[in-house]
Every structure is written in C-alpha cells, then in structure tokens.
Structure 1
Amino acid sequence: MTSEIHHTQSVGRYRDVFRRSVEDPESFWLEATMQIDWDAAPTRAVDDSNAPLYRWFPDGVLNTSYNCLDRHVAAGFGDRPALIHDAPLAPEGQQRTAYTYAELTEDVARCAGMLRAAGVNAGDRVVVYLPMIPAAAITMLACARLGAVHSMVFGGFAPKELAARIDDAQPTAVVTATGGVEPTRRIEYLPAVAEALRLATHRVEAVVVKHRDGFETAVADVSAQSAPTHWLDWDDAITQADAVAPVPVRATDPLYILYTSGTTGAPKGVVRDHGGHAVALRWSMENIYDVGPGQVMFTASDVGWVVGHSYIVYAPLLAGATSILYEGKPVGTPDAGAFWRLIEEYGVRSFFTAPTALRAVRKTDPDGLLREGRDLSSLKTLFVAGERLDPETQRWAADLLGVPVVDNWWQTETGWPIGANPVGLEPLPIKEGSCTVPSPGYAVEVLDALGKPVGPGEEGNICLKLPMAPGNLPTLWGNDQRFIDSYLTAFDGYYATGDSGYIDDDGYLFVMGRTDDVINVSGHRLSTGALEQALASHPAVAECAVIGLDDQLKGQRPFGYVVLKSGVEVPGSGSTAEEELLAQLRATVRESVGAVADFKEVAIVEALPKTRSGKILRKTMRQLAQGDEMKVPSTIEDATVLDALAPILRRAR
C-alpha cells in the first residue's frame, strides 16, 4: 500500500503539503532551502545522475556550524540561550552550565582552531569519544566549522569496538575525556582509548583530552602506550588556539559518520551530508516538533545516537532554539522525577525521549507521585522514538502530563522521522500504536515479499520509494556497494527499512517491529509487537519482550518475558500467586490476539537486556535461548542483565 493515498482523516494542510512533497520534490525542497544561509544557494534539489545513489542540492555551498551559530549572533540574538548542560551527578557548582549563542560560537571557533593546530583540516576525520558534556557538542560543531568529518562513538564503548571505528574512519585526531559519570559508578575513558589506539592499525596523530575531576587515570599514565601519538590537554590547547571562521563546503560533502550495527559484524558507517541534513532538520523543527527561535527543546538521549545528533545538537541550533544537554538518567539522578524537574526548571516546550525511559519511570513511580507539585505548563508535546511505543505507556504518559504523546518512527540511516504527527504543520488525531502518518518527503509503501503493494491494514515490508528525503544517508562511509547491497537490492527502486507494519484506511502508519521479529506459528504470521502490546496492557507489567523460538511441530512458538512494576509483589517461582499472574498474562494475549498465537510460555524477569539507546535485544535473547552462535552487541547497556537472564532463556529450549 502506498502512503500517497487514503488520507481520509488527514485533511487540510498536511495532506496538501505531503502530496506536493512527493509529487514535486524539486520545488518543495528548494523552497525549504530558503530557511538556510548559503554561500552559494542551490539551483537544483536532487541529482539522480548516479541512481540509485542520489544526492541533494548538488550545487549548493554552505557551512553547518555557521547556520547553527554565527547567523543567529549576526541577527542580534547572541544573548539568547543556546545550550544548557544539566549534570546532577557533577560536583557542586558544576551541575549547570549555560551558553548563549555568542558564547557557544566563540568556544566552537576556538575548538576549531585547536583541532586545526592538531592537524585537522577540511575532509579529515575526528573520532569523538565523550560523555554528555558541552565539549561533545562543541567538538561536533567545531568539526563542521572546519569542514572536517566527525564520528561520535558512545563514551565507554569497549576498546575493540573503538579500534574498529578508528580503522574504518581513519581519523587524524581523537577527542576524549578522562571519564564519564553514571549514577552508581565512574567510567575511566583513557585506558580504553589507549588500548584502542594499540589495537588499531591506523595511526592517530593527536588525542585531545578534556580533564574532569574525580578520575584516577592521567594522560601521563597512558600516553606512552600509544607513541608517537601526541596527547593534548583540551583546556590548555583551546586557550592557546585562534578562533577559526566557518569553512564553506559543498552541500554533498560529508558532515559526520555514525556507526550502526551490521549483519556481518562489521559496523556500518552511516554518512550524513551537510546540505540535505541542514535543510531537513530545520524543516522538521518547525513542522514536526513545533519549536522555533527562543523556545526550549529537551531531548533525553545521548550524542552517541542519531537522536542526540539531530535533536540535541543540530536541529535546535539550526532553528535558533535552546537545547538541554542532560548528563543523567530517567531514574536514579536522583529519582524518577528527574524529567519533570528539568521541564519545570527550564520551561521546556518540546520533550523528546524513548519509550524505554518512560517505562523505567513508570516502573519506579507507577502512580506519578513525583510529578505532583511540578509546574509543567510550558510543555506542549511529548515526542517518543527509538523503540515501539506500546499503548499502555502512551496512555499513562498522556494522563500524567496532560499533553499529546506523539510517537515518531525513524532510523539512524534516515536522520529524522519517517513517520510522525506533524504537530507544527497540522496536529492530527492520535491513534495508539501508530506513529501517525508519513512525514512529508517520505513516499512510504508497504510491500509483500514479491515487492507488490499490499492492501490497507495488511502487514508487509515498510519501504521508502527512491529517492529518499534529504537528510537521509546518501551512502555508507567508503562503501557505496555495501550501501546498495544492504538497503537497495531487496526491492527494486526502494530503500528497505527492515521493519514490518501496515497503513490503515486513514493513511496512518503502524510499525510492528523488525522483519525478523515476525514469527510463524502453525502457518500464522504474527508480529511480536502485537503480542507485546497485549502483554503490556496488563496492569502489573512495566515492560516486556516476546521472541519466537523454533518448534518442530508449529514452526515457531512465542515466548514472553515480563518485568513487573515497582510495588507489584509476587512470591517465589512456582507460588500460587505467580501462577495466577502467569495465567492472567496468557489470557490477556489470547483475548487480544486470539487463539492462533498459541501463547503459553511466559516468565517474570528482573530486567531485559537493552542497548544504550533503549532498544531491547530480542535477537540476542532468541539466539541465546536457542543455543545459536551469538555475538553480544557492543551497544549493550549492561551485560550483567543478559548474564542473569541466560539461565531462564536456556530453559525455554
């Protein structure tokens, strides 16, 4: 089914804008370029001369850092708050740092000078291995200022994974810190960096270290291990550096590389270009997130992930808004009311987080007691992405906050939402379980295994008709063929998202999960997302996961794992109370999905294994349960959770 029709409820402005974006993308996106300042304005929108490798605004020249910073200062808004760092775990007196646009511009210009002095020039790469501190955003913007390409690696990644990214990106420099702060521990970064440099075959010329108090490892302890790499102190080097003016680059030049997992085990370097990225993110701020100049956006993510890149650093600054850089967790810093404190304190208009974060808050504070007494009147919308938003969590958050809870769906590869409720353009009625409608610019179609469109309500492969919207990846770093093989060959003329779902009669898009999360029970294809949605509707369940296990008779059988809300007490395994709860869970799935699910097996667990961005590791759980060869993803948040779950998973065989 194509997303270009059946928008019977989506009347008004959205329908007209969407239709124009897919029928006449050339004029639509050229018009959007007017929100960006160019050294040479583009005269063409899309270059299809090398299809299926499309490029946006091929004759445009700009600088992303200038568009995020200098132009706002030049317009007289230098005193407006640009970035606020909130760090409740930092030492007293260092828990809040605010930057105006003028101050941030100066620091970014000097950081660019520091990097240039370290040997970084336009086109060179810089690997950034930093926690959620201002230096992370400043380094990203400084690289953009130079025309250099940054590759952010999540602080705390294992040395082997960091080394793999160093070898792939071949950076001139690495920017890091002495360590990162967690609610229960401090993570030393320098030993990991030194070990990664030892493991990597590529030689890095310089390592710049931002010193933070409270960490034991000093530069002197590790620098000798990576000679002849030159180690620099951030504060000393930036003080001595000259400010650098923005370097004009082509719109098609790479802005950053962000690695995502690959099926072969080798990480895939998703490339983002300057021009398409700036145009798309600036457009999305106004039309999707409803945030403009001087308004506050709080995105509770990490700059190691695409959400942090797009909606902590680049998009808010492109729009002249204020962005919150939060170095903390949804719970434990100090409690499950952390988000509500931030919204009240900073007057947040748009709040963006992951379903996993909301479920963690709900598990700890199911009645929302920590929200009481907080003035959240500034908040207009809660946006959620990163993992499927179950209706129970959506209803809970909407009731607690009294604002629309808007799911939006996208990927590292796309850089901004494929499907969303265009709140700034035209707020549409919310349907639970749906990310609402395809965003303008995305020609979304649902195809069967043979590449034929399916009917309304029929589940299939969600695909994007080429060319993809600006801001989406044009290729993978240094490997056009891998990009084509990974995404563009399954369905001719389409990008395969790898997700399954359907579009209903009203044009609403429902994303049910990864295509490999569809299980076949006695010939019936069932989405694990539908089964999880049923389990999550039980009042005792905080979060859950369903995996499909091989079965000689039925092909596959579903197995559910649930985490209970805080305060829900169930005596030990085999107790009458536990058996009653398990029976209720089975009945809930049967009533919601039907007998065809044959859902009989469910276990109560303490926690589910997740990536640091909050995605549940269903594939890893399935591999462990079946005894298949397994590679634990480098992005796992806490490997001890998987270790604790392993005996329960193995018993499922």
Structure 2
Amino acid sequence: MGWKSEWERARSDPEGFWMEQATAIDWVRMPTKALHDLGGPVPEWFADGAVNTCWNAVDRHVAAGHGDRLALIHDSPATESVARITYAELQDRVARLAGALRARGVTTGDRVIIYMPMVPEAVEGMLACARIGAIHSVVFGGFAASELAVRIDDAKPVAVLAGSCGIEPTRVVAYKPLLDDALAKAAHKPDFCLILQRDELRSETGPRDFDWHEAIAQAEPADCVPVAGNHPAYILYTSGTTGAPKGVVRPTGGHLVALEWSMTNVYDVAPGEVFWAASDVGWVVGHSYICYAPLIHGCTSVVFEGKPVGMPDAGTFWRVIADHGVAAFFTAPTAFRAIRREDPEAGMLEGHDLSALRTIFLAGERADPDTIEWLARVTGKPVIDHWWQTETGWTIAGNPVGLEALPVKIGSPSVPMPGYDIRILDEGGHEVAPGTLGAIAIRLPLPPGCLPGLWNAEARFVKSYLATFPGFYETGDAGMIDADGYVWIMARTDDVINVAGHRLSTGAIEEALAAHPDVAECAVVGMADAVKGQVPLGLLCLTRGVDRPQEEIAAECVALVRERIGPVASFRHVCVVERLPKTRSGKTLRATMARVAEGAEVRVPATIDDPAILDEIRQALARIGLPRS
C-alpha cells in the first residue's frame, strides 16, 4: 500500500484505519472504538481502552526475550563518557524509580515536574511516571527560575525530579539554586524533590530534598498501572515569548498508536536499529523521539549531551553517528547550518563511517534548500524535511520513506500524513487555489496523538486553535499546497509581511539569501515603513573565513532577492551579524529580532540561548543606520 491509498483510507474510514493501527500496541483492555465524543471541544481517541506506556516502551520487549538489546546509549562529549543501558537494565531502573515515587505518595493522575540535563535518568523519570500513571511535565534544564515557577503553579506537581547541574560547552550550570529560587517564587509547593547529584557540581540539599540514588536503592520495584486511553501522559508547556505558557496535553493511547506508526512508516527503522534525535527531552522532539517512539518500537535511542559544534568540534555529530551505527538521524536544520559554517568543506567528516546511516531527517524550522543540498552532497544520504508541532507530537506533513519514498521537492516537507486533512485558507476561512499563500489549517478531528486540549484551560484552547476557522485546527503557520499536493511551509502566520499591499513570505526571501555562497545562515523580519506599511530586513551570518567587505556582500544579497523575488519585495536593508538569537532548541527568534529592529524595548525571552546576542544585533543595526527615527 502506498502513501495515497493510506491517506485516503484514514480520511474515509478513520475508525477502521486507526483501530487497525492500534493492534500494534499492547492493551490491557482493547478500546471498543477509535473516536469518542465526550462533550469536549474535540473528540478523543481510544478513550475506553486501558493501557500503560511504560509497559509498551520497556517491559514488553523484555517479556519478548529482548532484554539484552540496547535501549539507551548516553553519549556525552560534555563529560567525555559513553554509557549503554539494555532493556532489562532499563526495566529495573525505571521500576525502582517508580517505586521510590510511589513510596513517597505519588499516584495515578499526580503531576511530577522533571528538570533535568540530558542524562539517562531524565528518560527514566519520564518512564517511571508513565509506569504508575503519574503525569510528567518536563521543563528544559536550566530554564530561568521565574519560568519554572510559572509551570509549577500551573501543573501543581506533588514532586520535582531534578539534576544538580547541567553541562554546556563553556560552563557548568547549577540547576539546584534555580529550582530553589523557583520554589520560593511559586505559590504551590511540591511534597518533595528527588535530586540527581552529578560529580561536576554537587548541590546542597534541604528538608524537602532526597538523594536520587539512595531513594532508588531503598525502593521496591513498582508494577505498571493501566490507565484509560485518554489519560494524560504528560503536559508540555510551549515556550512562547509572550503570555503565560500553554500546557499541551498528550493523551496516552493516541500517543502510543501514532508514535508506533511513525517509526515504521515515516522513519523506516526496524526494532533493534539505532535511532538518534539530536534534541533535548525538554522539547517535544525529545519527548516523542528520544524517549518514547524509539523505545515503543524496540529501537536503541541515543541520548546526547552536547551541541553540534563546540563539544569538541564540528565533527561531533559525524563521530556519534559512526560510533553507534545510527540508522536514522533527526535534528533541526540550525544544527547543520552551525556545522557548515564552521566546516564548510566537511573536512571533519573524513574518517567517520556513515555506512549504517540511511536517512537524515530535519524538522523544527524551515529547512533552506542550500543547507539541504550541502548536507546531501557531503554525506551522500537522503535528506528529508518534515513538519510538525508541539501540539501534534508527530509528523503533520512528511515524506513517508518507510511506507513509500516520494519524490523530494527541496523546500517542501512533502505531503500530509494519514489523519491530517490540510487546507490553505484566506482570512475569511475560504480555501485558496493551489500555489496561493494562506493560513495552514487542518480539518477536525486531528489524528491520534494530537492535543485534545490545554491543561486546565479549555477556553484558551478553543480561542488559540479552534475559533478562527470553525471546524479546523489553526496551525499558526502560513504556506501553500502546490498542484501535486505538496505542502510548503513559508513562515509563521505572524511572519508574513505586507509590503505595499503584497503579502510576502519571509521564508521565501530567506531562501533567496541562503543561496548566496558567503551566507551561512540568515533570517528575515518585517519592519514598519511609513510609505509601504512594512519592508523586510535581512540579517546575515557569514561563513567562517569570508573576508570580503560586508557592504559588497550586502549589495549582492539585495540584487539576489530582487532577481528571485522581484522589486515587489522592496528589499534594501541588510545587516551582517555574528549570530542569530535562538531558543535552546535552535529556533530562530524572528519576532524578537523584529522588535529589536524597530528600536522597541524587548522582554528577553526565557527560551533564548544567550541574551547578549540582542545587544550585538542592536550594535550591528546601528552601524547601518537602523533603527530609523
């Protein structure tokens, strides 16, 4: 069966299609049907089933005789160490951690905050919560105390699992003082904290703190507790730069079914193979494709503590792929842009055997064609872009290489996956013609695994996602669908700029800029203009070693955009900067840069990798006479 027939089958018979996919999961009680209308804003999947995530991710593989198979490989350039954990070892560690939580009163439905670095214990904490039916909420390690406090007050956890520190390329970050500060700020107080002490920086403990290893050593292993199919597996707070964070809820049954389907059909990996998602467990990619999906499918998952460059060099990714025989690799385009900028000729790839690697997957932000073409050329591997969101938890549009490898159109994440009926709508909610830019919306119901709501915020869920286009989920992205049915993600809806009445995608302008041979990375934002309403500003990071005058490169970039987009873009302003502001997950903060370009006061986002970048951009803008008075 090919992609088109499966997509059509899921659209015409969602009950039959998804009940069939559900048979790949071990249920304590098989659901009687797939879709349930429980009176909420959207229907819910597999609600009357009973299931346990930890059983499906760990115990069933041990029961099937695969206990000696590697479950996790922890590769840490940060500590210059590698650890390997089998499924049998993981089962014991998770069961004992779950027992330690249960002994301190954690039970089904309780919330547990996880504030950890990229260590195996972070994954074990997630699985231990799932084992006893607790609802985990992972907060990116090292997040500011005020942001952690907001999440504590919203989730109201009974416990916090935390590391004493995290390790970055140039520093050790003390987590425990941040946690203590957050608890002082928060109105809600958890009953206890379980602290994983790391040798690089051990922390002082207080009356509510317990030592991780001591607690596990004293614990009786806990069995898996069945929960309802629509029981929340976790809450993951989005990292928006304005307003209170939204707590995306992930339902257990649909999560299991969707992730299992994706491992075979989207990523084309088999049980026992090594899968590496180079992300962090604090983000949705880490939830879905470091912790859960690879283990549900019986793969080996790489838990990587480090960054693509700086630990120790731009060859780190190649070394990890080669050392562990990674079959499928998944990361954000920004990682390879950083590697390319440091090592444009890919000299550090020499000596690393990538023969086990079949496919490289990109997601998380727009993948510019220049980066994709470079990556495919230097590795000789297929590079597959795909698109999804924190809210969906798995692929909305992609190239399902395990189901049917479709022709690649560079710049497009390809086609909708089964269960996603994507439409392009104008501001009035009317469908637009193929090739026309508009708002990307998905006809309800969303497929299994997607959010059924926000934590304790139904009205906000409706307003944020359902109210603009009744009967549709509003993605917040802008793009188009071409005549072949391929989806093109051009920008966030807020990043579509209006230049003298012409709606232009910042992504299309970035694509033109990225084609310049001296440009390693770029971003385009809109600035207010008294005559045209808005005009684009391009911010460029140059490839290492380029020593030509910046003014010359800027002029060439203006000419390039005029050639590829046309005079309608009114593209005149180019600023060369050393780096772009990004979240810790690698997403470029375009809205923040737009405010800096306007000269506005900017609230520094808690998600930003390095706040000093904003001052560097202000200085660079001042050198070219921006912002204007």
The TM-score, its normalising length taken from structure 2, stands at 0.98
Residue 173 of structure 2 aligns to a residue whose secondary structure is strand
**Cross-structure match for 2:612:** 640
**Cross-structure match for 2:575:** 603
Matches within 5 A, 1:169-318: 169-215=155-201, 217-219=203-205, 223=206, 230-262=208-240, 265-318=243-296
Q: By how many angstroms is 1:647 displaced?
A: 2.9
Q: By how many angstroms is 1:216 displaced?
A: 5.4
Residue 214 of structure 2 aligns to a residue whose secondary structure is helix
Residue 526 of structure 2 aligns to a residue whose secondary structure is strand
Residue 632 of structure 1 aligns to a residue whose secondary structure is coil
**Cross-structure match for 1:4:** none
Q: 1:271 to 1:649 in 2, by over 3 A?
A: farther
Matches within 5 A, 1:446-485: 446-485=424-463
**Cross-structure match for 1:48:** 37
- Contact persistence 1:52–1:466 (CA under 8 A): no
Q: Distance in 1 between matches of 2:249 and 2:621?
A: 37
**Cross-structure match for 2:131:** 145
Q: By how many angstroms is 1:313 displaced?
A: 0.5
Q: Return the match for 1:510 from 478, 488, 491.
A: 488
**Cross-structure match for 1:34:** 23
Whether 2:177 is the aligned partner of 1:165: answer no
Residue 35 of structure 1 aligns to a residue whose secondary structure is coil
- Contact persistence 1:446–1:462 (CA under 8 A): yes
**Cross-structure match for 1:25:** 14
Q: Distance in 1 between matches of 2:153 and 2:40?
A: 29
**Cross-structure match for 2:122:** 136
The letter of the residue matching 1:152 is V
Q: By how many angstroms is 1:217 displaced?
A: 3.4
Q: Distance in 1 between matches of 2:434 and 2:78?
A: 50
| Gaps in structure 2 of 5+ consecutive residues | none
Q: By how many angstroms is 1:582 displaced?
A: 1.2
Q: Distance in 2 between matches of 1:316 and 1:216?
A: 32
Q: Distance in 1 between matches of 2:239 and 2:444?
A: 23
Residue 497 of structure 2 aligns to a residue whose secondary structure is strand
Q: Return the match for 2:66 from 63, 66, 77.
A: 77
Q: Distance in 1 between matches of 2:278 and 2:550?
A: 35
The letter of the residue matching 1:588 is L
Q: Distance in 2 between matches of 1:21 and 1:453?
A: 22
Q: By how many angstroms is 1:53 displaced?
A: 2.1
- Contact persistence 1:624–1:649 (CA under 8 A): no
Whether 2:300 is the aligned partner of 1:322: answer yes
**Cross-structure match for 1:98:** 84
Q: By how many angstroms is 1:627 displaced?
A: 3.3
Q: Distance in 1 between matches of 2:435 and 2:52?
A: 44
Say which is worse superposed, 257-266 or 246-255, in terms of deviation: 257-266
Residue 334 of structure 2 aligns to a residue whose secondary structure is helix
**Cross-structure match for 2:627:** 652
Q: Distance in 2 between matches of 1:355 and 1:261?
A: 19
Whether 2:575 is the aligned partner of 1:589: answer no
Q: Return the match for 2:376 from 367, 382, 398.
A: 398
Q: By how many angstroms is 1:523 displaced?
A: 1.3
Residue 27 of structure 2 aligns to a residue whose secondary structure is coil
Say which is worse superposed, 56-65 or 618-627, in terms of deviation: 618-627
Identity of matched residues, %: 56
Q: 1:216 to 1:135 in 2, by over 3 A?
A: closer
Q: By how many angstroms is 1:315 displaced?
A: 0.1
**Cross-structure match for 1:86:** 75
Point out 4+ residue stretches in structure 1 off by more than 6 angstroms: none
**Cross-structure match for 1:226:** none
Say which is worse superposed, 191-200 or 561-570, in terms of deviation: 561-570
Q: Distance in 2 between matches of 1:292 and 1:136?
A: 24
Matches within 5 A, 1:343-354: 343-354=321-332
1:198-246 deviations in whole A, cap 9, x for unaligned?
A: 0000011101000101215322xxx2xxxxx621000101111110000
Q: By how many angstroms is 1:118 displaced?
A: 2.1
Whether 2:411 is the aligned partner of 1:422: answer no
**Cross-structure match for 1:6:** none
The TM-score, its normalising length taken from structure 1, stands at 0.94
Whether 2:309 is the aligned partner of 1:331: answer yes
Residue 195 of structure 1 aligns to a residue whose secondary structure is helix
Q: Distance in 1 between matches of 2:423 and 2:601?
A: 34
Whether 2:362 is the aligned partner of 1:380: answer no
Q: 1:266 to 1:339 in 2, by over 3 A?
A: same
Q: CA RMSD of the aligned region, Å?
A: 1.1
Residue 29 of structure 2 aligns to a residue whose secondary structure is coil
- Contact persistence 1:118–1:173 (CA under 8 A): no
Q: Distance in 2 between matches of 1:165 and 1:471?
A: 22
The letter of the residue matching 1:325 is V
Q: Distance in 2 between matches of 1:50 and 1:239?
A: 45
Q: Distance in 2 between matches of 1:420 and 1:505?
A: 17
- Contact persistence 1:621–1:649 (CA under 8 A): no
The letter of the residue matching 1:460 is G
* Count of aligned residue pairs for this structure pair: 625
Q: By how many angstroms is 1:261 displaced?
A: 3.5
- Contact persistence 2:267–2:402 (CA under 8 A): yes
- Contact persistence 1:464–1:497 (CA under 8 A): yes
Q: By how many angstroms is 1:89 displaced?
A: 1.9
**Cross-structure match for 2:584:** 612
Q: Distance in 2 between matches of 1:489 and 1:178?
A: 43
Q: Distance in 2 between matches of 1:263 and 1:45?
A: 36
1:294-344 deviations in whole A, cap 9, x for unaligned?
A: 011011000000000000000000000010000011001111011111111
- Contact persistence 2:165–2:202 (CA under 8 A): no
Q: Distance in 2 between matches of 1:142 and 1:534?
A: 47
The letter of the residue matching 2:373 is R
